[in-house]
Structure 1
Amino acid sequence: MPTSLPHDLPALRVGDSGARPALVLHGGGGPRTVTPIVHHLGTAFSVTAPTHPGWDGTDRPASIASVADLARAYLDALVDRQERDVVVVGSSIGGWIALEMAVQSAADDRYAGRVGALVVIDGVGVVVDGQPIADFFSLDARGLAEAAWHDPERGYQDPAALTEQQRAVQQSNGRTMAAVAGTMSDPALLGRLRSVRVPTLVVWGDSDGVVTPAYGRALAAAVPGAAFAEVTAAGHLPHLEAPEATWAAIDPFLAAQRA
């Protein structure tokens, strides 16, 4: 049975509607964290960047209770829009959703051909021995900045400077992330990645303390034919901290997909 997204789900759309479609999936920080990716890709792709159900005050249907459910809902949306060969780009939890979409599309004829390529940016979701995922939920604002950014001062958000509305949204997003992503991993996912059959690029900030570059390399090694690119002087969100170096890693891969 299809898993429906809310009809009024906000989405940023950029680019020529006649170009190849790209779907950009944000992580726990919300849609603002992937805005630079959307605008960068919009010069060559027809980009859609939805707000995940339950983030930023949106409704989350009871049918979406896991990352697998969310991936299925996005695949169903691609079917409804009759979009094929979509380039799916995911950051952090968005990378996990992207991987799950690729795995599901390989296993279910309803979704065959919907996902055409993947770009996973510091994605979570797999379990790698000796490379634990930082516990998002136990970190305060300072600890999160130190784990997620090469330059923690740049990433630090003083909780005292937030408005009541911003604080409420942040707390709500955290509750949604805990409900959907749980421990930030699926112990079975690493083995399931062998079924992925689309071109895949895994991009990682070399200073990521949330999920280390070693974790990223193990993830990439589990996807047949995947390439791995490391971005220097960047943490968990390299497209925010080192955008030009990130585009230098991503653009040749995307150019090959347009050839």
Structure 2
Amino acid sequence: MTTHRTGGFTLEPYPGLPLTVRDVGAGRPVLVLHGGGGPATMAGVVDHFAATSRVLAPTHPGWEDTPRPEWFSDVGDLVETYLDLLDDHDLRDVLVIGSSFGGWIASEMTVRDRGHRIGGLIIMGAFGPEVEGHEVRFPTAPPGPPPGEGPGAPAPRRGPSPAALQALVAYAGPSKSDPKLLYRLARVTVPALAVWGADDTVVPPDFGRAYAAAIPGARFALIPGAGHLPTREAPETAFAAIDDFLASIGR
């Protein structure tokens, strides 16, 4: 069952699992997948693409006080749910954009895309594969608010909520990685871009370079002055890199 509302809808892909999806704009479809910091970290990405595209931005079950059944407990569950979302809505040539944990989901979706629904992949500060010699360091608190939010603005929540953190641990496992993913990335056949903040201390740029090198033909864009969330911390430069990539592939 799907319940529609202004700016989005809620569906129940499995019994007891409501999934909230923001749905804005019109045009070629874009799927936006957030990381541990939640949907707010991708608000600028949604707004950027909604001017020219139809943007679907689900909230992963367990974030923003949404329920997550105990059995819904690994990255594969999210991957299959979002691939089903593309199938059920008959979406084609979908650009999938994932940040941090969302980049792991996006990459795995593209690997498993047997229905050839996905037409492009963008990952930003993503983790997921094991890269020898390059450690991922998870912060105790996320970066501060983006530029332009003054001292009078409400203070952002410092890190994922306890429920979201519990969900992240359930999905990602204790190692927060998949040792086979780096090899499976060779199956990706769509144009791909890896966007990395030059000052990312969570997932270092060399990790990102290795990630991109594992995807055939993928490009790597280093964003000066940005950390783990380049579209928030250096939006002009990050979106210029993304738009240049999309223009080069005819999107």
CA-to-aligned-CA distance 1:152-173 (integer Å, 9 cap, x gap): 9999xxxxx78xxx68971111
1:63·1:69 contact (CA, 8 Å) conserved in 2? Answer: no
Rounded Cα–Cα distance in structure 2 between residues aligned with 1:187 and 1:226 = 20
How many residue pairs get aligned? The number is: 233
Deviation of 1:255 after TM superposition, in Å, equals: 2.3
Please give the residue correspondences for 1:2-21 in structure 2 after superposition, counting only pairs within 5 Å.
4=13, 8-16=18-26, 19-21=27-29
Q: TM-score, normalised by structure 2?
A: 0.85
1:101-250 mapped onto 2 (5 Å cutoff): 101-105=109-113, 111-134=114-137, 136=138, 139-141=139-141, 145=143, 170-182=161-173, 183-250=175-242
Q: For residue 87 of structure 1, what is the aligned residue in structure 2?
A: 95
After superposition, what is the alpha-carbon deviation per residue over 1:105-158, rounded to whole angstroms, capped at 9, x for unaligned? 1xxxxx321111000011110111111111x3xx533xx54xxx7x99999xxx
In the TM superposition, residue 257 of structure 1 has moved relative to its aligned partner by: 3.9
**How do 1:26-65 and structure 2 match up within 5 A?**
26-65=34-73
1:57–1:169 contact (8 Å) kept in structure 2:
no
| SS of equivalent residue, structure 2 residue 112 | helix
Measured in 2, the distance between the counterparts of 1:14 and 1:115 equals 19
**SS, match of residue 208 in structure 1:** coil
CA positional deviation for 1:62: 4.0
Please, which runs of 5 or more residues in structure 1 have no aligned partner? 106-110, 156-160
Deviation at 1:191, TM superposition (A): 0.6
Task: Supply the AA of the counterpart residue of 2:140.
Answer: D
- SS where residue 9 of structure 1 aligns? strand
Cα distance, 1:62–1:227 mapped onto 2, change above 3 Å:
same
Q: Find the aligned partners of 1:89 and 1:63 in 2 and give their Cα distance.
A: 26
Query: Structure 1 residue 254: deviation in Å?
Result: 1.8
Distance 2:159 2:126 in 1: 26
Work out the CA distance in 2 between the residues paired with 1:197 and 1:64. 29
Asked whether the 8 Å contact 1:126–1:185 carries over to 2, the reply is yes
Give how far 1:252 is off: 1.3
Structure 1 residues 82 and 62: CA distance shift in structure 2, 3 A: farther
Paired AA for residue 9 in structure 1 = L
Q: Identity over the aligned pairs, expressed in percent?
A: 47
Following superposition, the deviation at residue 64 of structure 1 comes to: 2.4
Partner Cα distance (1:123, 1:258) in 2: 24
Give the alignment's Cα RMSD to 1 decimal: 2.6
Cα deviation digits, residues 51-70 of structure 1 (max 9, x gap): 01111111223442111221
> Does the CA-based 8 Å contact 2:124-2:194 persist in structure 1?
yes
Alpha-carbon distance, 1:8 to partner: 4.1
- Structure 1's 129 and 168: CA in aligned 2 closer, same or farther, altered over 3 A? closer
The runs of 5 or more residues in structure 2 that have no matched partner are 1-11, 150-154
Give 2:232's aligned amino acid: L
Instruction: Give the structure with the larger helix fraction.
Output: 1
Do the aligned residues in 2 keep the contact of 1:122 with 1:204 (CA within 8 Å)?
Answer: yes
Offset at residue 231 of structure 1 (A)? 0.4
- Counterpart of 2:126, as a letter, is G
